[in-house]
Amino acid sequence: MASEFELINFLFEPLSRGLSPNEIGIGDDGAVLNVPENHQLVVVTDTLVSGVHFPENTAAYDVAWKAVAVNLSDLAAMGAQPGFYSLALTIPENNQVWLNGFAKGLEDIGSFYQIPLVGGDTTNGPLTITVTMQGWVSTGKAIRRSGAKEGDLVCVTNYIGNGALGLMVALNTLPESVKGLISEADSQYLLDALNLPQPQLDLSSSLKEFANSAIDISDGLLADLGHILEESNKLIAPKDGKVLGAQINLEFIPLSNAARIYIENTGHWPAILAGGDDYQLCFTIAPDKLNLAQEMSGKLGVKITAIGKVVSLDRVNESSSTSNKPSLMDITLLSHGKKIDVGEAKGYMHF
Amino acid sequence: MASEFELINFLFEPLSRGLSPNEIGIGDDGAVLNVPENHQLVVVTDTLVSGVHFPENTAAYDVAWKAVAVNLSDLAAMGAQPGFYSLALTIPENNQVWLNGFAKGLEDIGSFYQIPLVGGDTTNGPLTITVTMQGWVSTGKAIRRSGAKEGDLVCVTNYIGNGALGLMVALNTLPESVKGLISEADSQYLLDALNLPQPQLDLSSSLKEFANSAIDISDGLLADLGHILEESNKLIAPKDGKVLGAQINLEFIPLSNAARIYIENTGHWPAILAGGDDYQLCFTIAPDKLNLAQEMSGKLGVKITAIGKVVSLDRVNESSSTSNKPSLMDITLLSHGKKIDVGEAKGYMHF
């Protein structure tokens, strides 16, 4: 088997392209990188485990793309611009075909988003990919989860639920009633949403001009909106006797053609709202900023939909409302004004 | 099983201590961190896989300490000061006792080296720990592997081989002839060298004043010195007809009491020279800088030993000397002036 050094040098070293002459990429004990003035560093990390975060038969190219994309998505949610990333790759065997496909995936997403690989570690073990990415945000301008305000509109980008439905396509678990109705092109569209997510970086640079809070939807819309409420509630003094919750209108949830067919035939909203793997942004904005957001939406070609609003609720139970658990109980789902039971629509929990 | 969010919030959030009020640690999509002026960012990553990089029965506390320490050691080799780190933890089950021990290990090394945890990801799978660490170096002052010059002295810090012998103690594979001669205190000392390595950060801040090149010894002295030669040779034009090699005097290799007993009874140098897990620094300096290095050594209480020198060799084989393989063939071992066969003393290869 080739040594760690050979793997890294020959396959990954070309992915360091784009550094300045006084910067150091792969090939030393560490990478050395320049820092833009008047910016803060943003650091994000995400691990993908084979069989947990992607089906074991996922193409190496797609695994690489997704490992980088999910981190770009985290940067997008902070309003940060990408800098560079390092890769910790644990592989069960030195499979050159797999490694070539993986390196090609890294190369393509790296070129597309202009983000060089600056280092990493390759180890032997069950397939696990950890990407740690650094980005930059103007000092003090990062968008927090904790900034949601009563009366804010809850918005999402593009479509919700495609990743979860893509997983059903990949695992062949789509209900029979739906399978026949979805075209081959739609199936591929869902698979691409799962395997080749497109982080919302175009929007993220202007997001700080109108959003009060933001998160990327990786664990499912309800869980991730829950994180926004949870973090925002930490800034509200308990003596106020209030907590933030949200009302979401199901009929406003933006659905792709395939997702609409799925809902019309199954009525099973949890797959859409809690399936995760969307890598869209969920953010809250003051209502008077909606025009600005829609202007950006048109300019960037990113669909933005207001799906509900942040509301103020009575703090009924001191111990539950101050817990760190996602406050799913504080999200009300409405269908044409009528309250719907959240049921099993909880967010994806890694454990 | 507790959710990922609970694990991270309750157990790891306190490890974010030490950030400024305008910085963000754990609890958002990413960490946001201030940048010191006139510095470059240094990024290092190391993965530890259970059963590959540490014995499966290693205490959780020690696993945590080591996962952070090996990254600090990489920063030390670059002459960088530590900033902060993120943690990608893959664990097979939510074992609260194990997690508490692990968090205590992180807390202790974090307090000792003043390095906060700023984020991470916890996933379910075989025990794997990836730490990505950021540090800072004055712009243009990073120490490269590639700076070795003909005539440089090859130096190492403290003692070599303790980590490899510690692994023999842990796995109970020390030869019988040695076991009876090593005290219980010495056994514990070797185990500590393996499990609780002390990164050479004290020295690293002054290293740039006298070292031409540096690396930390993780793969074994010969392999890591080979990396210095390999990278330094890339800067020498092939038309020169020369490559850099090294001569190492075995009798100068600094050995602990236990390692000396091992060598006296087995004569087995590969364990010492190629065992790895030393986390000492190997660096090269111009001979006229040795006084300065020894002055620093006394001031900081770090033992520094010159064990050989960088020499110029005829470039005999174009294809082999330009390959990226560690140029072990270019390191000559001398015992009291007599050339010794490197034999099996190759560096640890992860594959």
Chain A contacts of B22, Cβ < 8 Å?
Answer: 40, 139-140
Distance CA A196, CA B202 (A): 45
Helix axes A257-266, A162-171, angle to 10 degrees: 80
ipTM: 0.89
Paired strand residues for A337: none
Eight-state DSSP code of residue B16: G
Report residue B7's pLDDT band, with 50, 70 and 90 as the boundaries: low
Chain B contacts of A132, Cβ < 8 Å?
Answer: 43, 45, 86, 88, 130, 132
Q: Which residue of chain B comes nearest to A51, CA vs CA?
A: B125
Q: Which residue of chain A comes nearest to B83, CA vs CA?
A: A41
Residue from the list B10, B28, B39 with its beta carbon closest to the beta carbon of A145: B28
Q: Which residue of chain A comes nearest to B144, CA vs CA?
A: A28
Asked if B124 lies within 8 A of A52 by C-beta distance, the reply is yes
Residue from the list B2, B45, B49 with its beta carbon closest to the beta carbon of A90: B49
B286 and A CB contact within 8 Å:
no
Is B186 among the annotated ligand-binding positions? no
Paired strand residues for B120: B87
| Token pair for A155 | 């918005």
Residue A34 has a pLDDT of 96
pLDDT exceeding 90 applies to what percent of chain B?
76
Q: Which of residues 87-126 of A touch B (CB under 8 A)?
A: 87-88, 90, 94, 118-126
| Residue whose pair of structure tokens reads 């514990």 in the numeric block | B188
Closest CA of chain A from B136, distance in Å: 9
Chain Cα centroid distance, residue B186: 22
Chain Cα centroid distance, residue A54: 14
Residue from the list B29, B231, B325 with its beta carbon closest to the beta carbon of A77: B29
pLDDT, tens digit, for every residue of B65-80? 999 999 999 999 999 9
Report residue B3's pLDDT band, with 50, 70 and 90 as the boundaries: low
A78 and B CB contact within 8 Å:
yes
Q: Which residue of chain B comes nearest to A234, CA vs CA?
A: B27
Residue from the list A1, A90, A134 with its beta carbon closest to the beta carbon of B128: A90
CATH topology of domain A4-138: 60s Ribosomal Protein L30; Chain: A; (3.30.1330)
B344 and A CB contact within 8 Å:
no
Eight-state DSSP code of residue B9: I
Q: Which residue of chain B comes nearest to A7, CA vs CA?
A: B351
Residue B4 has a pLDDT of 52
pLDDT, tens digit, for every residue of A132-187? 999 999 999 999 999 999 999 999 999 999 999 999 999 999 999 999 999 999 99
Is A224 among the annotated ligand-binding positions? no
Is A189 among the annotated ligand-binding positions? no
Assign domain B145-340 to its CATH superfamily: PurM-like C-terminal domain (3.90.650.10)
A29 and B CB contact within 8 Å:
yes
Paired strand residues for A42: A135, B32
CB distance B76 to B211 below 8 Å: no
**Residue ranges covered by each domain of chain B:** 4-138, 145-340
pLDDT, tens digit, for every residue of A267-301? 999 999 999 999 999 999 999 999 999 999 999 99
Residue B9 has a pLDDT of 62
CB distance A90 to A127 below 8 Å: yes
Distance CA A81, CA A136 (A): 5
Eight-state DSSP code of residue A19: -
Report residue A9's pLDDT band, with 50, 70 and 90 as the boundaries: low
Q: Which of residues 152-211 of A touch B (CB under 8 A)?
A: none
B41 and A CB contact within 8 Å:
yes
